[in-house]
Structure 1
Amino acid sequence: MKLKLYACLVALVMLAGAIWAGGLAQSHIAGRASVLDRLETVLLDLRILIKGPREAPRDVVIVAIDDKTVTAVGQYPVGRNFLTALVEGIRDAGAKALAVDILLIGKADEAADAGLAKALASLPTVIAAGGQFPLEQAAEVLVPAPEAELRPYEAFSEVASVGLVNVATDAGGTPRHIPLIFKTGQGLAPSFGMLAVGKFLGAPPSVTADGIRIAGRVQPLDLHWQQPLNYYGKGGAIRTISAQSLLDDSVAAKAALEGHLVLLGVTASAVGDRFSTPFDPILPGVEVLSTGVANLLDGSVLLRDSRVRLCDAIAAVSITLLGMAVVVFLPLASATIVYLLLLLGWLTAAVIAFNQDIWLNAALPIAASVPPVIALAVLREGFDWFRVRRLVAAREALSRFQAPDLARRIADDPDFLQVPREQPVAILFIDLAGYTTLSEKLGPARTRDVLKAFHTLVVNEAARNRGLVLDFMGDGAMIGFGIPDAAPRDAEDACRCAFDLVGAVHDWIMASGLNADIREVRLGGHYGPVVLSRLGHENQQQIAATGDCVNVASRLMEVGKARGASMVLSSALTSAARSATGNILREALARPPRLEAVAIRGRVQELEVALWTADEAVRERSGISATN
């Protein structure tokens, strides 16, 4: 994958990611329902459980038609005479206002209805109505518009206010919002809970652009005057009095109602509505409504207005862009850690904010950022894999132009030998005698095949003896031992390689039928200090070994030619090899066929050298190999 193509793909994915995050953010700001809400409810429940139960306000009390009451009455639903006595008992206990969460639909006995109407009129009261909504609106967070209403009997609605008791649940059936405004046939109408608060405070709340004004305090709400519920705990977290205890003239029950807002509802088993909540799987509907009313009175409504939603949107887009940026510019491991820290930071902020009754959307940044970040990570991984493949291929190619050990060293350390260094090295030079005549006879193509076979043999023998082929020069080669790092066995390895090379090349010449043209091989070897450095232009360099040691090793091939020898090794090399070995190689180096002091072209001092013909070197090689 070319860098330009990769850059275009990255830009395309980042643009798509920004559009994706922006679309989710816009949808969230607009309050449109989506599958994302399911993840958010799970994370919201976790925050609720982390925060734990809290104390409910004392202003709200539930009078419950519970199991004890139904058992005492002997029937359900209870009769209106019973409800009349119950309402009168609540009034006599000093309740400041009453909210009846029971659908009083249709007429019953005329006297009973009249008695209940009179009781309801005896204190500030709101009674429940139910709305029937289109299925397509059931899960949406919008201003509810009921298709039809189940309203109380006219005699009751004439003496008490009427409000819808519908709540908005999530996909799991947990109430999350209570609509405070309904769009009815008569226009916008306040909810049951909003009316109950107005009855209790003596002044109805007024609607503002983003919330409602309660007793001089503006309570922010979610979009379209939806009230997010902030639960207090399990069932019973809001003070609950048994209706039967009140009718039994319980002093404690009556005392609990004085000056308070009373919600009358049903909690008896298997009757009435039930909802699942984070704290309780079967919370009665009257307690859900009581939670909403209590939130309005104590000001603990979860804050999730347009400003909070905007904060959610900014966080989602920012985390998405930052997550994509770190994936592009940082190593993938580091980018993953940074991205996860961004998400963890937002989740932590959401938990801290929830403890302050602020509902930040924990799921939005996750949903907005995960798809584009993963897409970029996959693209980056693919590009890195392709680049590694290219690097491996480049290293393999480099190793064909440089000795493999040098290529690996350069790849691992690009600054290798930027500063030249001097170290002791053993150097061998080898070439073929008669190659010029052979190349003229064979022509370029076949000559190349011969050279390739010869060079392969040289590389194999050098590698087997821990040597590096530093350079090929036509029919010749330069081999170094102790490059790039010197070792105690460098001189021994060089001498062993010299015998192996002469023997192997001799065998190859005979086996290839080239002995008619290539008469013999010449090899020279020396041991001494060399300078390892980078030679060449700044943009085209090679690793080179230079110094007197290299020059002498090269000139020793001339000495061999002049004295009829195939292999000439300096005493500096043989002495260093003998000091490092204790096997038969030491004996071979100690008693060479000839030992002479020779003049070296370009040097003033003579040099002591050991000389072997090809046959002598082959015989010595056989003995050395048999011993090893």
Structure 2
Amino acid sequence: MKRRVQILLALVLTALWGAGIYAGHANGHLRFLDRLEATLTDWRTQVRGVQAPPDLVTIVAIDDTVVKRGGTYPLPRADLARVVDTIVQFKPKVVAIDLLLIDRSAAIGDVTLAHTLATGPMVLAAAAIFPSASETVAPASAGPLAALPQAERFLLPLPMFADHADVGIVNVATGQSGSPLSVPMLFRTDDKVELSFPLRVASRALDKPLTIAPDHLMLGDLTVPTDSDFALPITYYGPRRTIRTVSAQSIFDGTLDRNAIENRIVVIGAAVAGGGDFFPTPFDSLMPGVEVISTAITHLVAGDSIVRDRKVHIADALIAILLPMLLVGLLAWRRSALGFVVAAAVMVAWAGLNLFAFTHGIWLDAATTLAAVVPPVAVLVGVQLWAGGRRTQYLAAKSRSLAQFQAPAVQEWLARDPNFLAKPVRQDAAIVFIDLSDFTALSQQIDPDELQDILQAFHALIDRAAVDCGGMITSFLGDGAMILFGLPSAMPDDAARALKCAIDLHRGVERWMASLPPVIGDRLGFKIGAHFGPIVASRLGESHQHITANGDTVNLASRLMEVAAQNDARLALTDALLDAADFHGAPDGVLSGPLLTQIRGRSGVVTVWFWRDQDRPSQAAAKVEMID
């Protein structure tokens, strides 16, 4: 009788756990599950394999060949007008320009483009500017539209362009993984609602009126199932260029195939290496943003998007409650190998059902179910192992967790405090990013073994510089790395050590590239960004944990590499880092600045300085150069 009561209590607690996990995730409180779900979604997409997309969209890519021809990027407005004019002559259904036309350029180019936009059906891209992640935006109104992504403002095309076209918001939802898994269909500010760029294009191409229902959208008679916040879940057909893609250079060469344009949806967008508008996807480490947008457009027009609507969420909730109850019941009822075998068979059946549904267009959540299942089952199994005298193995597993962290200082800290960063910690820290330039192009032309040697030497150089300055490498990003100064605890000299590390890296990488064969060293460049400010430090993962940091400080440090490259520099520093480091110049370096600039994807202005080695011939002799 007592055992039955214990089993009943375990089942009730398990059901409450599953319901709590689902409710917590649905209300946005368990964000770590989003990263796990993104990884599991990538796996399911890869298992499904490459699929031929409906042949509805043609991407006209402004790629490296176009930039090499003109010598500048972004593409001059007069050249863009020529591209659009040629496309319009071939009579497409609609021309969608996935480029932000928000700034004025040469007057004749702007006027030419404005006249060209008036000659055909056009949709122009706009962007939504969102508040920082630390801010909470209260819903402005009740009802379904209260769940829409709320922007501070919209960056709209210049009126001279927007007067001749529809306008749609081009932002995508990347989540914590960086991979776009959905595209919001509607955006709002305090006073208006804007349609997304893909939705504008699809509505124009289908020539159907849009209806916003409480839990879905309608394009004429076509139902568009959406998530709870009117986001369109997307799955990728394959790697980049799976959707028909032609280079804009074919227009300048006069070789554009009419069949690639006529009666089709044409999306013009950037695919320039180093342009920044790239995203990781299940099939590609870097897919141009224009192809992500084109995937959403194809889903809308073809009606083949994966379903993750209210009915699917109800199924997710039931599975999150019933599946762990079933497993706990089996393990408690059969405390033997048979119980484990049956429970394992149930999990395999669930995984198979989940994969089958995904490959047939229904996106059942996997991460929430695992979070609902694993802890109760693990607790039950742990209790049974403890009751059976398996305490030694449990302690051994706990001790092995210490080896999952690389940095010696972190290992020593964990020995004193096993719960270090078990809960996220907010603190000030310094972040240094470094990345090789033109490495992707080089990797396509040299032997893989030689490429591996180059990367190994580069990583070893970064590791030595980080260790010498007391930094912690949180991740190697292929041909780059992120170094964190501030763990295991914040120190007064974190910024100073980060600054020294950045300068040491600058000099060390320059010497290393000079030592490479000219055919390699002359083709490589590098860029470094360093910033100081608040971060959120935590540890992620289950069996293999790692230390990570996120927040605006990390994002800004990463974007500084773009600022350095745009200003013909290699090391970009913020005044926040220099102030925190109490830096007053060095006898063997040149500090140029300040430059007041906006950072892509971030509101406000940042003060940036550029450091160069005084020994370089191209550098001025002055200690500080002022940029007007």
Letter paired with 2:180:
P
Runs of 4+ in 1 over 6 A off after TM superposition: 137-141
Q: Once the 2 structures are TM-superposed, how far is the Cα of residue 178 of structure 1 from its aligned partner?
A: 0.2
> 1:63, 1:354 → 2: CA distance?
31
1:55 is matched with 52
2:459 aligned residue? none
Identity of aligned residues (%): 34
Task: Give, in angstroms, the shift of residue 285 of structure 1.
Answer: 0.5
Matched, 1:157 2:162: yes
Structure 1: distance between partners of 2:196 and 2:100: 14
1:72 aligned residue: 69
1:95 corresponds, among 92, 103, 106, to: 92
Which amino acid in structure 2 is aligned with residue 357 of structure 1? G
Task: Name the counterpart of 1:357.
Answer: 361
**Separation in structure 1 between the aligned mates of residue 353 and residue 35 of structure 2, nearest angstrom:** 20
CA distance 1:204–1:90, change in 2 (3 Å): farther
User: Paired residues, what number?
Assistant: 382
Offset at residue 269 of structure 1 (A): 1.4
Instruction: Tell which deviates more after alignment, 26-35 or 346-355.
Output: 26-35
1:249 positional shift: 2.0
Q: 3-state DSSP class of the match of 1:84?
A: helix
Do 2:56 and 2:265's aligned partners in 1 also have CA atoms closer than 8 Å? yes
CA distance in 1, matches of 2:34, 2:343: 23
After TM superposition, give the deviation of residue 378 of structure 1 in Å.
Answer: 3.0
Q: Deviations over 1:418-456 (max 9, x none)?
A: xxxxxxxxxxxxxxxxxxxxxxxxxxxxxxxxxxxxxxx
**Structure 1 partner of 2:242:** 237
Distance 1:63 1:11, change over 3 A: same
- Residues of 1 paired with 2:351 and 2:135: CA distance? 29
CA distance in 1: counterparts of 2:28 and 2:386, whole angstroms: 38
The offset of 1:44, in angstroms, is: 1.2
Report if the CA contact (8 A) 2:250-2:256 is conserved. Answer: no
Structure whose CA Rg is larger:
1
- The answer to which of 356-365 and 133-142 deviates more is 133-142
- How many angstroms apart in 1 are the aligned matches of 2:83 and 2:352? 48
Amino acid at match of 1:184: T
Secondary structure of the 2:99 match is coil
Asked whether 1:274 is paired with 2:278, we answer: yes
1:211 offset after TM fit, Å?
1.6
2:324 equivalent to 1:327: no
Given that 2:16 and 2:321 are in contact with CA atoms closer than 8 Å, whether structure 1 keeps it comes out as no
Map Cα deviations across residues 24-46 of structure 1 (whole Å, 9 max, x no partner).
22345556652122222221111
Residue 490 of structure 1 is matched in structure 2 by none
Cα distance in 2 between the residues matched to 1:240 and 1:205? 28
Matches within 5 A, 1:58-457: 58-136=55-133, 143-252=148-257, 254-383=258-387
| Matches for 1:34-45 after TM superposition, within 5 Å | 34-45=31-42
Label 1:374 to 1:323 Cα distance change in 2 as closer, same or farther (>3 A). same
Contact 1:139 1:170 in 2 (8 A): no
Task: Answer yes or no: is the 8 Å Cα contact 2:15–2:322 preserved in 1.
Answer: no
Output the CA distance in 2 between the equivalents of 1:75 and 1:139.
Answer: 40
Q: Cα offset for 1:379?
A: 3.0
CA offset at residue 288 of structure 1?
A: 0.5
Equivalent residue of 2:229, what SS?
Answer: helix
CA distance in 2, matches of 1:139, 1:320: 34
Change in CA separation of 1:154 and 1:273 when aligned onto 2, cut-off 3 Å:
same
* Contact 1:302/1:358 (<8 A) preserved: yes
CA offsets, 1:112-153, max 9 Å, x none?
222211111211111111112123289999521111322211
Structure 2 contact 173–180 (Cα < 8 Å) conserved? yes
The Cα of 1:220 is off from its aligned counterpart by 0.9
**Who is 1:564 aligned against?**
none
Do the aligned residues in 2 keep the contact of 1:60 with 1:238 (CA within 8 Å)?
yes
| 2:114/2:160 contact within 8 Å kept | yes
Query: CA contact under 8 A between 1:275 and 1:281: conserved in structure 2?
Result: yes
Q: Which residue of 2 aligns with 1:541?
A: none
Cα distance change on mapping 1:273 and 1:164 into 2, 3 Å: same
Q: Distance in 2 between matches of 1:343 and 1:379?
A: 20
> Structure 1: how far apart are the matches of 2:164 and 2:316?
45
Amino acid corresponding to residue 78 of structure 1 in structure 2: L
Q: Distance in 1 between matches of 2:21 and 2:100?
A: 40
Q: Does the CA-based 8 Å contact 2:126-2:155 persist in structure 1?
A: yes
Instruction: Check conservation: 1:179, 1:191, Cα contact below 8 A.
Output: yes
SS at match of 2:100: coil
Match of 2:579 in 1: none
SS at match of 1:354: helix
Q: TM-score, with normalisation over the residues of structure 2?
A: 0.58
Rounded to whole Å, the distance in 1 between the matches of 2:338 and 2:135 is 45
Instruction: Tell me if the contact between 2:173 and 2:183 (Cα under 8 Å) persists in the aligned partners.
Output: yes
- Specify the SS of the correspondent of 1:135: coil
Q: What is the rounded CA distance, in whole Å, between the counterparts of 1:286 and 1:23 in structure 2?
A: 38
Decide whether the 8 Å contact of 2:150 with 2:189 is kept in 1: yes
1:162-216 CA distance string (max 9 Å, x none): 1111100131200011000001244222101100111111234322222211241
CA distance in 2, matches of 1:110, 1:371: 64
- 1:105 aligned partner, one-letter code: I
User: SS at the partner of 1:347?
Assistant: helix
Shift of the 251–104 alpha-carbon distance from structure 1 to 2, 3 Å rule, reads closer
Amino acid corresponding to residue 116 of structure 2 in structure 1: A
Which residue identity is paired with 2:155? Answer: L
Alpha-carbon spacing, 1:385–1:80, altered in 2? closer, same or farther (3 Å): closer
Query: 1:625 corresponds to which residue?
Result: none
> How far did residue 158 of structure 1 move?
1.5
Alignment correspondent of 2:601: none
Amino acid at match of 2:302: D
Give the Cα–Cα distance (whole angstroms) in 1 for the partners of residues 36 and 296 of structure 2: 23
**Partner Cα separation in structure 2 for residue 293 and residue 30 of structure 1:** 28
2:58, 2:246 → 1: CA distance? 7
Query: Of Structure 1 and Structure 2, which has the larger fraction of its residues in helix?
Result: 1
* CA–CA separation in structure 2 for the residues paired with 1:128 and 1:61: 17
1 CA distance for matches of 2:263 and 2:52?
Answer: 19
Contact 1:229 1:291 in 2 (8 A): yes
State the alpha-carbon separation in 2 of the partners of residues 173 and 278 from structure 1: 11
Measured in 1, the distance between the counterparts of 2:165 and 2:209 equals 14
Task: Give the deviation of 1:246 after TM superposition.
Answer: 1.9
Measured after TM superposition, the shift of residue 223 of structure 1 is 1.1
Mapping of residues 563-578 of structure 1, within 5 Å:
none
1:343 CA drift (Å): 1.4
More deviation in 204-213 or 74-83?
204-213
Residue 78 of structure 1 aligns to a residue in which SS?
Answer: coil
SS of residue paired to 1:268: coil
Q: 8 Å contact 1:13–1:375 — kept in the other structure?
A: no
